[in-house]
Every structure is written in structure tokens, then in C-alpha cells.
Structure 1
Amino acid sequence: MARTPAPPADHSAAPDDGPAHDELMDRLARAAAGYYRDLTAAAAVHGLTMTQAKMLILLRQPLPMRALAGRLGCDASNITGLVDRLEARGLVSRHLDASDRRIKRVVATEEGREAVRRVRADMRGTAEAFARLDEEGRRSLYELLGRLHPEEPA
């Protein structure tokens, strides 16, 4: 007996116990847009593009260039140019992977980590938004965001 596929879920109707998926997506999109506007403006003050700032933020630990491309949502061929520009400014360096010399890992330099600290310090809109939350609210937001999009392995 052939099985018929289930109809697609209707995400427009609100469930009985909370906001509908569309409402959650709209609110998440608004929050993300505010964050990226703030990041873009703060990065520009320090001579960085938003993408360069995002890359530096991702480099809390060394990452292979391919992993950076995936996390930034861009083609691997674009990463070389981005890394070249940041490397020329002394913000990142490239190192061959000890276990596989075909892989290049990108590392934020101390200057790169300092650039991230300065950019984040200038993100006043985001800081003000977080300040509107009490400690429990910040903890809950942190936990919920972690559940929405768990960290990817390097």
C-alpha cells in the first residue's frame, strides 16, 4: 500500500500555547536586523566591513577556511580575499593544519581580538537592548538562542 505524504505544516496559525512560527520568525528577523545594523555601524568606525567583523568574531578559536565560508554563508572562494585583507592589516594569520597540511586554519591575532573588543564596545544599540533584560532574562535568552542554533563543530 502506497503512503501519501503528510500535508505541509501550516505555520501561519498560532498554536494554542504561544506565538505562531511566522510571528517568531518576524521577531527574530527584527532582532537580527537590529544587531547587524549595530554591528555594521560599529565595524565601519574601525574601518571594517560587517563581513570582516563577523569573521573576526567567529575566530574565537582557529577555524579552517572552509568552515569560515560555511559559517559566513559564502562561497569558499570569497574567503581568500577576506582573509587576505584582514591579514594585510595584521588582524588574522593563516597556519597549516598540523594533521592535514592541505587545510589552512585562520587565527585572529591579538590585534584582531582587540578589534572585536572595540567593535563590540561601540555596539551601543545592542548593549542597550541587553540592558533592558534582567539577569534571568539574559540567561533565558542565551539558553533559548543556543537551542535554536547550536554551535557547529569546526
Structure 2
Amino acid sequence: MTEPTVPPAPAPTPTRLMDELARAAAAYYRQFAAMAAESGLTLMQGKTLSLLREPRSMRSLAELLACDASNITGIVDRLESRGLVRREVDPADRRIKNVLLTEEGEQAVHRIRARVMSGLSGLERLSEEERSSLLALLGRVFPEGAL
């Protein structure tokens, strides 16, 4: 006697996917905020540090963080006072100030990321193929510069 075949589940709707992405983002930011707080940083300070893999202008940081430039000035001032970032004049345009991580800032970002990753073990359970697929799909849903 053959087993009855179970029909495949219907594909999730775009609304369901959006809800799941929102849930995943919220979980990530809760974890990130908690790990930043362990380093004595606010969520926005931690996010700012994490965006500085390369020097960025104050305007670029404001755009990436979707906040007013005056907020970025305050965030960078506080990070600079702690020795985590420094400002330098852009060699191509002396009117622009770039923000760079200091060695202490790089260490802080590394600690926060390591702690966040330890709390996101689901990513480690994905195979290489699954991680590649997820990255490709996220790139299609959120093309660079689309948001």
C-alpha cells in the first residue's frame, strides 16, 4: 500500500515574508542593542561604529542611519570622546570630514559582532549553499541603494 502524498504547503505571501523579515530584524536589533550596552554604547553608537568598516563622511552616516545630521554630530562627538573614532579631513574635498574607527573602535566593533553572532546560532546552522542562497535572495529583495 502506498502512502498518500502530502500536497506542498502554499508559498508564503509577500506580506508574511515582510512580517518575518521585520521579526528577524527586531530580534537582531534587540541582540545588537544588548551587546552594545555591555560595551557602554547606545544602539545608535553601536550601529555607527559598525558602519565604519571604511571611512565615511558625516553626511553618509546620517543617510545610512536615516537620521538628522545634528544627531550624527552628537553621536560622533560621544564616540570620539571615548577614543573609538576620529575625524579627519577628506583628502579629495577639504570641506568634508570623514569619520574613521580608531584601534579601540575596531576592537569594540569586533567584540559586539562576536557577541551578536554567538546569539544568532541559526546562521551557523545553515550550510554554505543555504548561506549563499540567503545572501543572494536578500540582495534581490534589498538591492544596494534601493532603500
Q: Which runs of 5+ in 2 are unaligned?
A: 1-9
Query: TM-score under structure 1 normalisation?
Result: 0.82
Aligned residues: 135
In the alignment, which residue of structure 2 is the partner of 1:106? 99
- State how 1:59-138 maps to structure 2 within 5 Å: 59-123=52-116, 124-126=118-120, 128-138=121-131
Distance 1:65 1:85 in 2: 14
AA of the residue aligned to 2:113: R
Q: Deviations over 1:62-108 (max 9, x none)?
A: 01100100100100111000000000111111111112111111111
The ranges of structure 1 where at least 4 consecutive aligned residues each deviate by more than 6 angstroms after the TM superposition are: none
TM-superposed deviation, 1:151: 3.5
AA of the residue aligned to 2:35: A
Query: TM-score under structure 2 normalisation?
Result: 0.86
Distance 2:103 2:77 in 1: 17
In the alignment, which residue of structure 1 is the partner of 2:6? none
Which SS does the other structure have where 2:94 is aligned?
A: coil
AA of the residue aligned to 2:94: R
Q: Which runs of 5+ in 1 are unaligned?
A: 1-16
In the alignment, which residue of structure 2 is the partner of 1:23? 16
- State how 1:1-40 maps to structure 2 within 5 Å: 18-40=11-33
TM-superposed deviation, 1:53: 0.8
Which SS does the other structure have where 2:95 is aligned?
A: coil
Tell me the C-alpha RMSD between the 2 structures.
1.4
